[in-house]
Structure 1
Amino acid sequence: MRSELSVELQRMRWRSPADAAATAVAAGIAGVIGRKYESPEIGDTAVIGNGHGRLAVFGPDGNVCSWNVPFGHGVPVCNGLYDGTEDTAFRLGVAGQDRPTDMRLKANSATLVSTWTSPTGQARERAVMVGSPTTPDGNQLVRRLTCDRGSITATLDFRLRYGHAGEQPVQWTVLRSGRGFTEYVATVGNVKMFFTTNMHLTFGEGGTSVRGSLPLKAKKSAFFAVGGHDSLSPRTDKEAKRLIVESEKGWLKYVQSLRNLRGKYAGIAIQSAINLRLLGYGDGGSFYAAATRSLPEDDPRLGLAVRCWDYLKDWERDAGLTVLSLTDAGDQKVLLARYRWYKKLHDIRHRLAIMHEVDGGNVADNGEIIIPGIGHRGSVYRVGNGAGDQKQHDWTSYAAEVCYRLALQGLIDLEFVASLAEQARDAMFKPCSGVWEIRPAENQENGAKLRVYASAQILNGQALAYFSKIFEMAGEQDKAREYKALAAKVMPWVRDNCVKRGVIVAAPDVPVLDSSILLAFMQAPDMFESGDEELVRATALAIDEPHTTAGPLKGLRVGKGHVRYHAAEFQDGISLAEEGLFNNITGWLAIVFLQLGMLQRAETLMGELMGTFNRVRQASEENTPGGRALGNLNQAYVYQAVIWFALLWEVIMAELEKAQAAEAASRTSRAA
């Protein structure tokens, strides 16, 4: 599907001011070059959500810099994370102070706690998207600033604009008022929004700009609550506090259900599970891949970033792995919720798409819109995803594992399983866009060639193995034997066609390293035999080799991180320029080395991954070699890796402890 912006402009990288200005004028975006960008650094942000599809991003100054309505995949009303010509504000702070002195996520919750210090006192704000995985969706963002000591003046700057380019200012009017209470309303797109506060307000610019203030002494609070038509606006500070407390109790109840997260890495694993679960939509049957859209994966300081994707979608891969990792952590609800979500999809029996809208909509039908120049630091801004109609032949393996785990619990939907199994069978040894979603030549100029990727075939083989087991449990012995035989064909093909110089390469005609093979090592246990251990080890070591090391295969390590592949070698149909360092690849490597028993190396890698987390213990998709965050925020792959590493570490430690105890008992017995 061709985008509205020419492919050549998408692929172009601005290298010199003269060329940049000429390109900007040609694209109708003169004035972008040379601007002083005001968007915050990607790594200085914090994401909150309630697990029902409501998300908001806070900047380091306490401003809500990204908020879409009515759900995360909706239309922006706060856009400070990007650099369009129309700016917004939603900032609750302290008079005379530019930013809080500290921002943290409260333990066992999704509450953002910001500490403000002034010459006259100290205050603390709690910001919550009302609701949690164990409590209903409140459809409301509540902020409450409490003076802890001394005295301060709470201040408010509130200016919303609706539209991807901030086209429509949001105008507020009085809806109703009572004793010490006033509620305001605005039409935002095709929905109503409401806010209440106990602050003293002044309105400007025709009711589109709201400023507030409230002097506070110790133990007194200012609140501001804004939400949709189905929210219950708090009339008093006491009611605002109750909404926050109930949401925190709901998150604590959820954390307490994650009984499998314990031991050395429990703290970061629990926070990772919270970060994952807040990406959920509805009842947790679908999940966003990340909390934002269109943040650049190429460093915007080097030129126009073209790798800017809309991640506010339910990728079958990303969401499937989220469901599986949360289930392993102890979540007892998301597995069945995922199955129920599958059943609602109108086209799943025809073909399981690689991604859907979180509400089940067809991403390919919705298309992809590209707006030049208004993205983060002047990059392109994308809404929708042009990869929605791609073929990626690993895609049934995640649904297959969901079905297999449910079958172990006694739930077998044979019609559904048979439909998915046929799709996996038809994908055997067929070319596709692969795990990394290359943009194919059939859809755009200068696109890449579809290939039969080793990782996709191994993961598809694992799907066939799962389907065989499900058929056997259902008493369908002929089907079970058929799919077991199909699965058995995969690894011989890989060994014959995709092993070069003792390691698994991307594809038969792409003899380079591809980090997606790590996902196959992690998620395809039935595909590998004990004799494959050295092949797995050699491949993982080759991937972890520095890219500067001379050799026939170029390693994927760059500094303290890893690229997915080297763009000039891999040819993804997007750009030949190198990407940022993908944090999940470091995590996947850590897990594979842990599986191989290389504990010290695994822990070193996990330390590198955790080093990419920011002060609120959240991670973006990528980093530059210098440590600056890139890519979309709160990326699911990163947290899945942390959870699985923590779980596997405890299993290995328990096995070592058991072995040591047995050895000690044996020595005692021999001595006696």
Structure 2
Amino acid sequence: MPQYPPIADHGMIGDLQTVALVASDGAVDWFCAPRFDSPSIFAALLDQERGGSFRIAADAPDVRVTQLYLPDTAVLVTRFLTAAGVGEVVDLMPLDSPETATDRHRMFRVMRVVRGSMSFTVDCSPRFDYGRATHTLKMAETGDSAVFTGPGVDLHLQSSAPLWTDNGTDVQGAVTLRAGETAAIVLTTCANDAEPPEPLTRAAAETAWASTVDFWHRWLRTSRYRGRWRQTVNRSAITLKLLTYAPTGAPVAAATAGLPEQIGGERNWDYRYTWIRDASLSLGALIDLGFTDEANAFRRWLGERLAAGATGSGRPLQIMYRVDGDPKLGEEVLDHLEGYRKSFPVRIGNGAADQLQLDIYGEAAFALTHSGGIAESGGFEGWQAIARVLDWLADNWDQPDEGIWETRGGRKNFTYSRLMSWVAFARGIRLAREYARPADLERWTATRDAIFLQVMERGWSEKHRAFVQHYDSDVLDSSLLLMPTVGFVAPKDPRWLATLDAMDRELVSDSLVYRYDPSASPDGLRGSEGTFTLCTFHYVQALARADRVGEARYAFEKMLTYANHVGLFAEEIGPTGEQLGNFPQAFTHLSLITAAMALDDALDKAEAREP
């Protein structure tokens, strides 16, 4: 039976157009090119036999393996420790011109020995188009390079270690090194019949290393964060940056597709797209950290989506897009892949793209107006984009929708959707007044107030003494943890404190937070799921704002223990502490950043009050 590594047993490298996941055994078992959402070249995470992988590992018994990032970079080091020696594989993807979209991407894998001696083995077994396409292999007579040709993509493998093929499809290699010696392999993807890459030299590998380290160090110096969890926040910021498609400024929700929310279950989605919600909230975290270039790039992308409108729906926005703004995300099942640990079906594309989720207009307004935004720097056209959204929302806010969690159990009057519609009007009204912009303020104000009163009357359960998931229900929903963050209620409002207590009882388990109870609120899918890491960090924020600072800090510190060995988080945490769902998830890392900043602020205030 195939042995799958834990989802969390990976580091991530990337060049701001695509990423690769490297397991701690030295295997690249997820890589798509030329973009995040392109068909896979290595996808052993979804099928160990058919998916394809690229492994470099120590050839020795009783190997102990560790993995770490070079501090404050996306350079990943996998260390192999044996009695005979200590060796490393250093993985990186150079960032040559990340803002220019290209089919050409390079992955450097450098083997080196720091003590004693070590033999490394190489196995490069690509499987193009999610393992659906065949390829040809051409080996150089010199044994130092090979070219795999798949549909639309050539894969050039160059090596300073000897290479060969046993089957005419895959490439193997081996090298023995002593302390101080190195060998390098570079994998280059490009379009069919494109110019071949320059020859691999020691100087080229050293330049790739130096330029990549320098890029990340220079970028991270922009951060304004000086709080208590600096290294943790830095790693989350780098992760958000790695998951952003630099040519357009659009961040993807996660690096992967098809990884399960429940082992063996059907909740296996494709997250390699840009959600308006996730990206908009990420923008706020990046601005608060000082990364304004990234924020402004996303605002431009979002403005272009508003100008285009949602395909065929008459709405201002679709809930998600491809990184280049393409709204077509047709969902299909890859029947030939068994799925991670037989978690089937494996889906690519996302059928939720055409759902009605009214909350996205509140998050979009947040993105466009945060710290001035389009209202100040986007000129007249920028303000018109905001005004059009609010005018449309004034006509459409009061209807059932699919909600933030993209349930497939039918539309409902979700409280969170109303909450974020309120945010859209509250933000728009404030900015229209602050910057003296033309607006139908009378109508916007009346709509804002109507939403507020409706949530207070219909979103509140007197029986349950809590705000609830949707009207006419008693189901709790942790998306509402954002109610005090967005200013809808005060952090110590009696209704909010009662809601927080109810969530403590029903949704919180050892500080970990569930989204909602699927058995109480059927979502159209079989099975269950783990606790939702995003919601746990939102819970930390809510505790901190409610002056439950000790609880907040303890919950935050416990949550950090669930990070993987290099500080990355997937979407969920399972019953035994394993990470579940697509990995790493941007939404999780943005909520970690905002939780850290909120907790720092609360702790500073608490310490200032101490005698």
TM over 0.5: yes
Q: How does 1:303-382 map to 2 (within 5 A)?
A: 305-345=265-305, 346-347=308-309, 350-364=315-329, 366-371=330-335, 374-379=338-343, 380-382=345-347
Equivalent residue pairs, number: 593
Whichever residue aligns with residue 617 of structure 1, its letter is G
TM superposition shift of 1:183:
4.7
Distance 1:251 1:619 in 2: 20
Residue of structure 2 equivalent to 1:537: 497
The residue type equivalent to 1:574 in the other structure is L
Structure 1, 473-482 or 73-82: larger mean CA deviation: 473-482
1:410 and 2:377 equivalent? Answer: yes
CA distance in 1, matches of 2:155, 2:483: 46
What displacement does 1:562 show? Answer: 2.1
The alignment status of 1:203 with 2:168, answered yes or no, reads no
- CA displacement 1:623-661 (0-9 Å, x = unmatched): 21211221111112221121112222333344445555x
Query: How far apart are the structure 1 equivalents of 2:324 and 2:63?
Result: 36
The aligned amino acid for 2:479 is: S
Give runs of aligned pairs for residues 85-164 of structure 1, distance below 5 A: 85-97=49-61, 101-131=65-95, 139-164=105-130
Question: Is 2:258 the counterpart of 1:288?
Answer: no
Aligned letter for 1:450? R
Residue 132 of structure 1, CA deviation? 8.1
Q: Is the 8 A contact 2:355 2:406 kept in 1?
A: yes
Cα distance in 2 for residues equivalent to 1:267 and 1:514? 31
Match of 1:503 in 2: 466
Superposed counterparts of 1:523-602, under 5 Å: 524-525=486-487, 527-529=488-490, 533-545=493-505, 555-575=506-526, 577-602=527-552
- Quickly say closer, same or farther: Cα 1:374–1:590, change in 2 above 3 A: same
1:70, 1:478 → 2: CA distance? 43
Conservation of the 8 A alpha-carbon contact between 1:287 and 1:314: yes
CA contact (8 A) 2:483 2:489 kept: no
CA contact (8 A) 1:234 1:240 kept: no
CA distance in structure 1 between the aligned counterparts of 2:445 and 2:246, rounded to whole angstroms:
36
Q: Which amino acid aligns with 1:631?
A: G
Q: Give a deviation string over 1:474-510, Cα, whole Å, max 9, x none.
A: 5335523432332122221111112113210111222
Code of the aligned partner of 1:515: S
Indicate if the aligned counterparts of 2:386 and 2:428 stay in contact, CA closer than 8 A: yes
Instruction: Provide the secondary structure at the position in 2 that maps to 1:157.
Output: strand
The residue matched to 1:123 in structure 2 has which SS?
strand
Tell me the CA shift for residue 557 of structure 1: 2.0
Ranges of 4+ aligned residues in structure 1 off by more than 4 Å: 97-100, 132-138, 174-177, 230-234, 656-660
Letter in 2 for 1:226: L
Structure 2 residue aligned with 1:26: none
CA contact (8 A) 2:361 2:421 kept: yes
Separation of aligned partners in 2, 1:437 and 1:307: 12
Amino acid of the structure 2 residue aligned with 1:592 = A
Task: Determine the structure 2 residue equivalent to 1:611.
Answer: 561
Deviation at 1:392, TM superposition (A): 0.6
More moved, 265-274 vs 186-195:
186-195
Within 1, Cα distance between the matches of 2:59 and 2:33?
29
Opposite residue 355 of structure 2, the aligned amino acid is: Q
CA distance in 2, matches of 1:466, 1:175: 62
Q: Distance in 1 between matches of 2:579 and 2:457?
A: 40
**1:289·1:311 contact (CA, 8 Å) conserved in 2?**
yes
Q: Which amino acid aligns with 1:70?
A: P
**How many Å apart are 1:371 and its aligned residue?**
2.5
Matched, 1:458 2:419: yes
Shift of the alpha carbon at 1:357?
A: 1.0
Residues 1:156 and 1:497: Cα distance change in structure 2 (over 3 Å)? same
Shift of 1:317: 0.9
What secondary structure, in the 3-state scheme, does the structure 2 residue paired with 1:257 have?
Answer: coil
More displaced, 609-618 or 341-350? 341-350
Could you give the per-residue CA deviations for residues 61-112 of structure 1, whole angstroms, max 9, x where no partner exists? 1111111122221111112112264252311122225765211122101111
Q: Which residue of 2 aligns with 1:213?
A: 174
- SS, match of residue 592 in structure 1: helix
Q: Distance in 2 between matches of 1:357 and 1:100?
A: 40
- CA offsets 1:328-356 (integer angstroms, 9 cap, x no match): 11112122101221233333585201111
Q: For structure 1, which runs of at least 5 residues remain unmatched after alignment?
A: 1-35, 440-447, 546-554, 665-672
Q: Distance in 2 between matches of 1:167 and 1:91?
A: 21
Distance 2:490 2:549 in 1: 21
**2:155 maps to which residue?**
193
- Which residue does 2:397 correspond to in 1? 428
Q: Is the 8 A contact 2:113 2:182 kept in 1?
A: yes
Indicate the SS of the match to 1:119: coil
> How has the CA–CA distance of structure 1 residues 490 and 133 changed in structure 2, closer, same or farther, with 3 Å as cutoff?
farther
C-alpha separation between the residues in 2 aligned to 1:175 and 1:227? Answer: 16
Distance of 1:620 and 1:243 partners within structure 2: 29
Return the alpha-carbon distance in structure 1 between the equivalents of residues 317 and 503 of structure 2: 31
CA displacement 1:406-459 (0-9 Å, x = unmatched): 1464334122112222232233221000111111xxxxxxxx231111111011
Give the TM-score of the pair, scaled to structure 2. 0.91
Q: Do structure 1's residue 387 and structure 2's residue 352 form an aligned pair?
A: yes
Please state if 1:59 is matched with 2:19.
no
Q: Percent identity?
A: 24
- Contact 2:91/2:107 (<8 A) preserved: yes
Distance 1:135 1:288, change over 3 A: closer
Q: Is the 8 A contact 1:84 1:373 kept in 2?
A: no
Task: Using the TM superposition, give the Cα deviation of residue 244 of structure 1 relative to its aligned residue in structure 2, in angstroms.
Answer: 2.0
Q: CA deviation at 1:295?
A: 0.6
Change (3 A) 1:254 1:99: farther
Provide the secondary structure at the position in 2 that maps to 1:151. strand
TM-score of the superposed pair, with normalisation by structure 1 = 0.83
C-alpha displacement at 1:566, in angstroms? Answer: 0.7
> Could you tell me whether the CA contact under 8 Å between 2:139 and 2:145 is conserved in 1?
yes
Amino acid in structure 2 at the alignment position of 1:39: Y
Aligned equivalents of 1:636 and 1:450: distance in 2?
A: 26
Partners of 1:163 and 1:100 lie apart in 2 by 34
Contact 1:400 1:463 in 2 (8 A): yes
- Is the 2:8–2:570 contact (alpha carbons within 8 Å) kept by the matching residues of 1? yes
Separation of aligned partners in 2, 1:212 and 1:354 = 46
What is the distance in 2 between the residues matched to 1:61 and 1:408?
Answer: 50
Deviations 1:137-195 (A, max 9, x none): 8721111011112222232111111122x133443325798xxx955333222122322
Contact 2:263 2:341 in 1 (8 A): no
The residue identity in structure 1 corresponding to 2:500 is A
Task: Describe the SS at the equivalent of 1:567.
Answer: coil
Q: Against the structure 1 CA distance between its residues 642 and 87, is the aligned structure 2 distance closer, same or farther, given a 3 Å change threshold?
A: closer
Pair 1:250 & 2:215 matched:
yes
The answer as to whether partners of 2:319 and 2:354 remain within 8 angstroms in 1 is: yes
**Separation in structure 1 between the aligned mates of residue 199 and residue 253 of structure 2, nearest angstrom:** 32
